[in-house]
């Protein structure tokens, strides 16, 4: 296993330290590696003084443990992660899967730190956006939910700016389209910048749609809720577990669990479960190998009519229309 300790932030001077830890070189933001540890694209772009992005589209050939920390507390990281393989976040000695099939969007205040273990053979595809808190505040200041807490939302002691959830369909689309662009293309930076702004805009839209619940968020609470999210993702083929069962699995009361789940994710456990169940069902339809009734049965909907109703509510088209049009 290779151990990497590095800082990060809006200013991309930390790229040199990351490259040195891998025995690689940096040229114009591109980390060039000629060893057997990692192959693919590692690239950082300074968009402006308040915004930067780091993209990974690479295969790891060795287990790598990242111990991440930073020297600045004036920014937030917005992380989109569609990786496949053994990619794990480690917090307080607890492990939870991250990536395409686990939780894949996180907004984390720079005062927090997290360690990551990436297993050999993992295909890592992630976009990390670093944005100054002042710029982020300007972006969200027009959202009514935040008007009353402009002076406290970035209070480091309260850790209010922490969210974990699943990527929207639009975010998946934006990242997938960027991945089709040749990294060596002269227009790559233009596409990357457009993707970054698109992802930020889409995420702000998601925030507007959520009923934001404020309050103190402790690191151990975050770990418990993300662990519960992972459990729900693993049970998509089953009916929704009761709140009592979910709360018991993380040693919380029903009321505390419901409040924390909404605080961390911006939605209820049941809504989170149904959204991901429908996303998985849509992917099954995409194969063209299953009927609507078979998909409904596979994911334990009450009956095909219930599946059709829920599908239309989420995607504005019926499953039949979706298969025909897309």
Any domain includes 177:
no
pLDDT in tens, 99-135: 777 778 878 778 777 788 898 999 999 999 999 988 8
Tens digits of residue pLDDT in 302-321: 999 999 999 999 888 999 99
Q: How many CA atoms lie within 13 A of 265 on its CB side?
A: 28
The pLDDT value given to residue 135: 86
Evaluate whether residue 172 is within a structural domain: no
Is residue 307 in some structural domain?
A: yes
Q: Give the model confidence (pLDDT) of 191-214 as tens digits.
A: 999 999 999 988 877 766 655 554
Q: Are residues 160 and 239 in the same domain?
A: no
- Average pLDDT value for residue range 77-91: 83
Calculate Rg over the CA atoms of the chain. Answer: 20
**Residues 284, 290: Cα–Cα separation, whole Å:** 7
| Same domain as 47, residue 161 | yes
Same-domain pairing of 140 and 265: no
Q: How far apart are CA 198 and CA 193, in angstroms?
A: 8
pLDDT at 217: 64
pLDDT at residue 242 in the model = 94
- Let me know whether 24 and 97 are in one domain: yes
Q: Which of 165, 182, 211 is the last residue of a domain?
A: 165
- Cα separation, 214 vs 126, in Å, equals 28
Enter the tokens of residue 86: 């053994």
How many structural domains comprise the chain?
2
CA 164 to the chain's CA centroid: 7
For the entire predicted model, the pTM comes to 0.69
CB 75 within 8 A of CB 160: no
| 116, β-bridge pairs | 66, 89
The secondary structure element, H or E, covering residue 311 is helix 304-315
Looking at the fold, whether 302 and 230 belong to one and the same domain comes out as: yes
Does 145 lie in the same domain as 12? yes
Percentage with pLDDT > 70 across the chain: 86
Domain that holds residue 68: 2-165
CATH classification at residue 26? 2.60.120.10
Phi/psi of residue 95, each to 5°?
-110, 140
Domain end, chosen from 145, 165, 185, is at: 165
């Amino acid at each position: 296993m290779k151990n990497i300790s590095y800082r990060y932030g809006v200013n991309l001077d930390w790229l040199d330290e990351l490259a040195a830890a891998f025995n690689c070189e940096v040229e114009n933001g591109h980390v060039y590696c000629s060893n057997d540890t990692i192959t693919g694209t590692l690239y950082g772009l300074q968009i402006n003084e308040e915004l930067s992005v780091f993209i990974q589209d690479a295969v790891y050939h060795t287990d790598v443990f990242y111990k991440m920390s930073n020297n600045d507390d004036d920014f937030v990281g917005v992380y989109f992660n569609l990786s496949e393989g053994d990619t794990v976040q480690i917090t307080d000695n607890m492990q939870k899967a991250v990536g395409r099939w686990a939780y894949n969007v996180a907004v984390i205040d720079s005062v927090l730190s997290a360690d990551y273990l990436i297993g050999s053979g993992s295909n890592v595809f992630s976009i990390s956006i670093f944005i100054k808190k002042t710029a982020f505040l300007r972006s969200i200041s027009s959202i009514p939910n935040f008007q009353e807490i402009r002076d406290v939302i970035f209070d480091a002691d309260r850790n209010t700016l922490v969210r974990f959830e699943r990527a929207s369909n639009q975010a998946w689309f934006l990242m997938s389209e960027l991945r089709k662009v040749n990294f060596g293309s002269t227009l790559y930076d233009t596409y990357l910048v457009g993707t970054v702004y698109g992802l930020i805009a889409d995420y702000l839209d998601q925030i507007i749609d959520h009923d934001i619940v404020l309050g103190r968020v402790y690191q151990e609470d975050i770990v418990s809720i993300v662990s519960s999210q992972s459990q729900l993702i693993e049970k998509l083929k089953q009916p929704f577990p009761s709140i009592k069962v979910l709360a018991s699995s993380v040693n919380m009361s029903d009321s505390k669990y419901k409040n924390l789940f909404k605080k961390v994710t911006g939605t209820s456990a049941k809504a989170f479960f149904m959204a991901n169940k429908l996303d998985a069902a849509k992917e099954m339809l995409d194969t063209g190998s299953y009927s609507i009734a078979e998909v409904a049965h596979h994911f334990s909907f009450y009956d095909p009519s219930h599946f059709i109703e829920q599908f239309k509510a989420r995607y504005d088209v019926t499953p039949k229309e979706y298969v025909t049009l897309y």
